[in-house]
Structure 1
Amino acid sequence: MTDLDAMTLRSAYDNQLRPDIPDPVPAGVTVERDGPLFRITGLDAGGFLTYRDLDGLTGDALDELIARQVELFRQRSQSVEWKLVGHDEPADLADRLRAAGFVPEERETVVIGPVASLAGALPVVPEGVRLREVTSRVDLERIAAMEEEVWQEDRSHLVWGLEREMEADPQSVTVVVAEAGPTMVSAGWVRFPGNTGFATLWGGSTLPQWRRKGIYRALVTYRARLAEQRGRTLLQVDASEDSRPILERLGLVAVTTTTPYVYTP
């Protein structure tokens, strides 16, 4: 695609997917507004800060907005993630977040591409592996256990977070797993944000011994077919450096980056 296409896709991302607020809001989840910023709690172990843009805030006014979030989550003894997108303004926003105590985590690349070209292919998995849609808590717990093996960190929030989403609206998210016999080897989910042309892909962690066998690609293709069935025309992924090359080979285009800045009391 050309640079113009990438800019058009980035504009669609900004206008349709930001701010990233669950709709409908699941039980136990709270959405609060502070100026241009939306504060979400209850979907994860910590809080989440999202916005379309910061309404031109700079200098002291911006520092005060950041400081209010720090103080609120300090009082709650709860961590919070500020999702910083690469083209956010002002240009010194990252510096101001660091000065307030936020710590950057691994940067990801936002990639977007058309659903149709991916949905036209059949998902191909290695012999002995099958893809299956799941909804039960038992399967969500198996996903968390698999991801904990991959990342060596607690992933229990996936269980109750996805469960709450499905309870709020079963049509808003579909979870797909890849299994080899009794072993769950990979899992991913697709969200269908309301009033947009997008489907967004999440997860995709794969056990090390099952990588480079086409399983991640098959999960992407399977979920693209679900997106086409729902009338969605664009796929969006926050891609790690491991998954970005695969997604670009599948036709998705890098449009910006996103970096979690996390404050921990």
Structure 2
Amino acid sequence: MDHAAVLALYDRDMREGARPDEPGARIERDTAVVRRTGPPHGWNGVVWSDLDETTADTAIAQQVAYFTGLGREFEWKLYGHDLPVDLGERLRAAGFTPEPEETLMVAEAADLTLDVEVPDGIRIVPVTDPAGVDLVTDVHEKAFGTDGTRLRHQLLAGLAGDRDDVVAVVALAGDEPVSSARLELVPGTRFAGLWGGGTVPHWRGRGLYRALVAHRAEVAASRGYRYIQVDATDQSRPILTRLGFEPLTTTTPYVYKP
């Protein structure tokens, strides 16, 4: 993989060229920043910027004023190659709080190792109704220890809109939901994103995360997507590396709360 070329393509397709990805979301652009404003319970933030030492502080202040005017918390999604090199320090000085750094990993779907066995006693089923959304939300809250309200609203909105660009799946041990994840397919791009892969504590270490990655990658490949991307934690990075993913850069959420 030509890392520099794929990263440039990712920036162009997924960040500078970002598209609204759920009902009520909108993308707004100026010469230096692309931001996403979400619907109620949706995600708000800056997804791309083209700044330097002379323009960064003004752009940061403008985004703080914009989202504060809406009364919304928002995130500046900072990538390791973004400029200026001290942009993270400038964000902290403006009142942002960094969350844990992750690694942007990408693989060509054709190069992935997808012959992964599903653990014994596990069924992977698609989410097709509100009851399935409840199962995914339950796993999310147990796996990550965070509130699943935003995820629930996102998945329910997708079902109501009969959308096929968000594919959620849940792994069941009998009738117990033990792992879940989603695949986001962005029309008009070459990238499919893996998001939200989580397993409840007492089922970790049994290959569920690996199985859900392979399952979603197969779906993306069948839909014609060339690249699969994931923001990987330190825990998931070794698993993704063994499957064929390669690190391109880092990504750190900087959160501002009005």
**TM-score by structure 2 length?**
0.91
Q: Which sits farther off after the overlay, 38-47 or 139-148? A: 38-47
Contact 2:140–2:196, Cα closer than 8 Å, also in 1: no
Match of 2:53 among 58, 63, 70: 58
Separation of aligned partners in 2, 1:165 and 1:26: 7
Return the offset for 1:165: 3.9
Percent sequence identity is 40
Match of 1:121 among 93, 114, 120: 114
Separation of aligned partners in 2, 1:181 and 1:243: 25
Return the offset for 1:121: 3.2
Match of 1:171 among 164, 173, 176: 164
Return the offset for 1:74: 2.5
* 3-state SS of 1:67 partner: helix
C-alpha change, 1:42 and 1:11, in structure 2 (3 Å) is closer
Spell out the pairing of 1:71-110 with structure 2 (5 A cutoff). 71-110=65-104
C-alpha change, 1:236 and 1:182, in structure 2 (3 Å) is same
Q: Which residue of 1 aligns with 2:33?
A: 37
Contact 1:83–1:260, Cα closer than 8 Å, also in 2: yes
* 3-state SS of 1:258 partner: strand
Spell out the pairing of 1:120-199 with structure 2 (5 A cutoff). 121-168=114-161, 170-199=163-192
Contact 1:46–1:78, Cα closer than 8 Å, also in 2: no
Separation of aligned partners in 2, 1:155 and 1:62: 33
Separation of aligned partners in 1, 2:57 and 2:157: 34
Contact 2:42–2:154, Cα closer than 8 Å, also in 1: no
Separation of aligned partners in 2, 1:14 and 1:250: 23
Superposed CA offset, 1:209-235 (max 9, x none)? 111111111111111111111111211
Separation of aligned partners in 1, 2:199 and 2:107: 22
Contact 1:147–1:155, Cα closer than 8 Å, also in 2: yes
Return the offset for 1:117: 3.2
Q: Which sits farther off after the overlay, 105-114 or 170-179? A: 170-179
Superposed CA offset, 1:91-119 (max 9, x none)? 1111111111111001000001121233x
Q: Which residue of 1 aligns with 2:11?
A: 14
Q: Which residue of 2 aligns with 1:26?
A: 22
Contact 1:166–1:172, Cα closer than 8 Å, also in 2: no
Match of 1:235 among 228, 238, 241: 228
* Structure 1 stretches of 4+ moved >6 Å: none
Supply the AA of the counterpart residue of 2:163.
P
Return the offset for 1:40: 1.9
C-alpha change, 1:197 and 1:47, in structure 2 (3 Å) is closer
Separation of aligned partners in 2, 1:10 and 1:26: 25
Unpaired runs of 5+ residues, structure 1, are none
Return the offset for 1:168: 4.7
Q: Which sits farther off after the overlay, 30-39 or 130-139? A: 30-39
C-alpha change, 1:133 and 1:20, in structure 2 (3 Å) is farther
* 3-state SS of 1:7 partner: helix
Q: Which residue of 2 aligns with 1:251?
A: 244
Return the offset for 1:151: 2.1
C-alpha change, 1:94 and 1:112, in structure 2 (3 Å) is same
Separation of aligned partners in 1, 2:161 and 2:32: 26
